[in-house]
């Protein structure tokens, strides 16, 4: 019995060693419920769909979803410090949608994103920023100022700026859950299709 357990342990270790490809690079998506895939299966959320596209193109990258429902940009700094322990090659920051939904101060969102990105750069982590917009609930002025934050942060930190995450999805009833905020499975497919050209360019540079 002891010999059998030893053999099984060796086999298990061997499979684990084979699965852990040391050459596989990691891109972590740091986000909120949109990244987490709220309301859909993990396999149907856009990070998993991006992984399928990466695999189809035979790119040696692992797409890791680090989405946490309800997160605001204020969580970015502490979370990226935690993510850094896994030594990611690239971190794509997708935070801020909950800031906008709660009507938080635009300057606070800007500061939080800058703090997160500056820390990453100081610690030699390649970082990129994805864009998030807000519905016009708080008026056109707030909407405009909020949307402008992402371009300003990317320019200040000299990093790549991705497309609006929910382009062609936001406001489309057929592509969202009943809450009108989170994409359904079809919506996540559109998000992945829109985001992949940026991701592919990012990991190929």
Mark whether 179 is an active-site residue. Answer: yes
Q: Name the strands in the sheet holding 90-94, side by side, starting at the edge strand that comes first in the sequence.
A: 61-67, 25-31, 90-94, 126-131, 161-164
Query: Is residue 128 within a helix (H) or strand (E), and if so which, with residue range?
Result: strand 126-131
DSSP E strand boundaries for 154-202 = 161-164
**Choice among 33, 68, 75, 147 that is catalytic:** 33
Q: Which of 141, 174, 179, 204 is catalytic?
A: 179
Candidates 66, 99, 133, 182; catalytic one: 182
Q: Which of 100, 41, 106, 39 is nearest to 71 (CA)?
A: 100
Sign of the dihedral defined by the CA atoms of residues 59, 157, 31, 186, in that order: negative
Coil, helix or strand at residue 96: coil
Residue identified by tokens 């342990």 is: 9
33 counts as catalytic: yes
182 included as an active-site residue: yes
Q: Which residues are catalytic?
A: 33, 179, 182
């Amino acid at each position: 019995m002891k010999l059998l357990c030893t053999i099984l342990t060796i086999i298990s270790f061997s499979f684990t060693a084979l699965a852990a490809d040391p050459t596989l690079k990691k891109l972590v998506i740091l986000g909120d419920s949109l990244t987490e895939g709220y309301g859909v299966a993990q396999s149907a959320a856009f990070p998993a769909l991006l992984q399928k596209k990466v695999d189809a193109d035979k790119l040696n990258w692992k797409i890791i979803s680090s989405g946490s429902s309800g997160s605001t940009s204020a969580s970015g700094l502490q979370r990226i410090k935690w993510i850094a322990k896994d030594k990611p090659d690239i971190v794509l920051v997708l935070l801020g949608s909950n800031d906008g939904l709660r009507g938080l101060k635009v300057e606070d969102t800007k500061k939080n994103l800058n703090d997160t990105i500056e820390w990453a750069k100081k610690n030699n982590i390649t970082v990129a920023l994805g864009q998030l917009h807000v519905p016009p609930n708080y008026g056109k002025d707030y909407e405009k100022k909020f949307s402008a934050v992402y371009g300003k942060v990317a320019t200040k930190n000299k990093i790549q700026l991705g497309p609006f995450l929910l382009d062609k999805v936001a406001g489309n009833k057929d592509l969202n859950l009943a809450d009108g905020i989170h994409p359904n499975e079809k919506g996540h497919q559109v998000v992945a299709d829109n985001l992949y050209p940026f991701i592919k360019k990012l990991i190929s540079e």
